[in-house]
Structures are given as C-alpha cells and as structure tokens.
Structure 1
Amino acid sequence: MKQRINTYQDAGAAIAKLAGLHENLSATFDQKLRHIIDIRVSLMNECHFCINMHTKEALEGGDTQDRVDALKHWQTSPLFDPRERAALAWAEALTRTASQDEIDALYGDLSGHFSKEESALLTVAVAHINAWNRIGIASYKH
C-alpha cells in the first residue's frame, strides 16, 4: 500500500484522541466481540489495512481463522452465537445507515443480549471502527 495522507503526522492531536477512545474500549468492551465487529465493518467498508490488522488481533486473541473467514457470510454461518449475531446485525445496520424501523427492530433483539451500557459501548465501538476505516481508506491506496 502506498500512503496518500499521513494523518498521524498531520492531524496528530485528533488521532491521539481517537487512539484514546481505542484504549477506553479495550478496557471496557468484550475484546473477542470487538474483533469480529471490527473485521466485519472493515470488510463492509473495504478497508484492507484494517481487515488485516483486526484479523491478526482476533487470531492473537484466541479466535479462529474459520470464524474470521465466516464473517463474510455470518448470517448463515453456525459459528456465531445469538449474542454475536445481534451485535453483528447492529454493526451492519449502523455502518450502512439502516432505516429507523430496521434499527428499532434490531435494537429489540440487541437488548435481549446486551445491557443498556453494553449496547451503548457496542454503538461507540461501531462508530469507532467506522472512523478508523475512513481514515485508513483516505490515507492509503493499494
């Protein structure tokens, strides 16, 4: 990949704040779930740098290559439990900006698996990976 924009150098203070959010989420959010969310959203956004980085993190965190590979078609894969499915559906809806009716329905399912705090953290985690994806897409060309 060839670098187009050096956001770390040219927007260092803003990037430091985004990195601080990363640290907060690392301390407060289920990391195995976060890795699969990061990979799935990065696949949707076609951020190759992020896909590679988060795949490595997931594998180092104890997830399997089969599950990582199955994220392309998680809806039909038996490798994800109902809690993970609810989180992945929520992440996809927020990433592609689903209708309010769809978000309401998905939130109903989400609230059966996550507390209000966990749902809020999941929402922030989805926004966070989308922000990093946009930065990665803008910064690098392949």
Structure 2
Amino acid sequence: MTQRINAMQQSPALYKKFVEFSMLQKDCAIEQTIQDLVHIRASQINGCGFCLDMHVKEAKLHGERELRLYHLPIWRESSLFSPRERAALAWTEVLTRLPEHGVPDDIYDRVRTQLSEKELSDLSFVVMTINAWNRLSVGFRNVPGSADKAYGLDKAGLE
C-alpha cells in the first residue's frame, strides 16, 4: 500500500490543532485502558490498518493483556471485559456505525448504568476523535507501522 497524501504536510495548521484536541483526552474522565479499547474497536470497525496497528501497540505499552486484544472483536461473548468496558464498547460501536434512526434508547440506558453524564460526554469525544483519525488514515492510505519510530511504538515488541 502506498500513502496517497500526507495530511500533516498538506494541512499543517489543521493537523496541529487536531493533535492538540486529541491530546486533551489524556486528562478526560475515561481511563486510558478504555480509551485504548475504544481506539482499537473503532479502528477495527472502520478498517483502519494504520490506527489499528498504532493503538494495539499503544495498548501493549500501556500494559494491556494480549488475550483481551484478541477478544476485542468478540467482546460480547468474552468474560474478559468489565461492565464499564462493555458499556464503552457498546457506545463506541453505536456511534461508529450510527443507526439510521439514531442511538436506540435501550443502548443509551444500558450505557448510563455504567457511566456518569460527564464520562459519557468524554467518551463520546474519544469515539468521535478516533473516527475522524480513521477517516483521514483510510482516505489517504496511511501505511500501518510507518510512524512507529516517531511515536515510540517500536518499543511495543510487536513485529
């Protein structure tokens, strides 16, 4: 696969502001473990190889267990995820695949049993952001692993 264009080079001011926006989420109400799971799951759904590769490596660097990464596509059937993580994954999937008639009340109600209003709002921004990054990377065919050294992801030990 060959990258089409480099958004960072073509739109440096917009790219810089979007990175800054993304970095604000490090201090949001959603813990890093869940952010990692959300980034990976949305990237799987969107078929974004660049982001999937990046976020699996980040999750490993953050201490995520490998089996949970393997179970992420089957999180509903797996016993490896907490109710809070399941709620975050359900919200990620519904916002990533936006149903024709909006988010069903039953999903919203289920998620609200696990997350406060602030947490749900912050989670929505996390989901929104990874979906935007996915769209840039898929559209411009960013090559998986091409930024590993720049982001320190080569230290994840995944090859």
Range into which the TM-score falls when normalised by the shorter chain: over 0.9
Deviation (angstroms), 1:98:
2.2
- Residue in 2 that maps onto 1:137: 138
Distance 1:99 1:46, change over 3 A: same
Deviation (angstroms), 1:103:
3.1
Please tell me the residue identity of whatever aligns with 1:10. Answer: Q
Q: Please state if 1:89 is matched with 2:90.
A: yes
- Residue in 1 that maps onto 2:20: 20
Q: Taking structure 2 as the reference length, what is the TM-score of the superposition?
A: 0.84
- Residue in 2 that maps onto 1:55: 56
User: 1: CA distance between counterparts of 2:78 and 2:129?
Assistant: 26
The one-character-per-residue Cα deviations of 1:44-85 (angstroms, maximum 9, x if unpaired) are 001001001000011111111110111111110111111111
User: 1: CA distance between counterparts of 2:124 and 2:133?
Assistant: 14
- Residue in 2 that maps onto 1:45: 46
- Is 1:39–1:54's contact at 8 Å kept on the other side of the alignment? yes
Q: Give 5+ residue unaligned stretches, structure 1.
A: none
Please tell me the residue identity of whatever aligns with 1:4. Answer: R
Aligned residues: 142
Please tell me the residue identity of whatever aligns with 1:73. Answer: I
- Residue in 1 that maps onto 2:3: 3
The one-character-per-residue Cα deviations of 1:80-134 (angstroms, maximum 9, x if unpaired) are 1111111101110010002557532111111111111110000010000000000
Q: Which stretches of structure 1, 4 residues or more, deviate above 6 A after TM superposition?
A: none
Distance 1:26 1:141, change over 3 A: closer
User: 2: CA distance between counterparts of 1:94 and 1:2?
Assistant: 29
User: 1: CA distance between counterparts of 2:104 and 2:35?
Assistant: 20
User: 1: CA distance between counterparts of 2:18 and 2:104?
Assistant: 26
Q: Which has more helix, going by share of residues?
A: 1
Please tell me the residue identity of whatever aligns with 2:90. Answer: A
- Identical-pair percentage: 37
- Is 2:6–2:140's contact at 8 Å kept on the other side of the alignment? yes
User: 1: CA distance between counterparts of 2:22 and 2:88?
Assistant: 18
Q: Cα RMSD between the aligned structures?
A: 1.5
Please tell me the residue identity of whatever aligns with 2:138. Answer: I
The one-character-per-residue Cα deviations of 1:8-41 (angstroms, maximum 9, x if unpaired) are 0001111112111111001223111000000000
Please tell me the residue identity of whatever aligns with 1:75. Answer: R
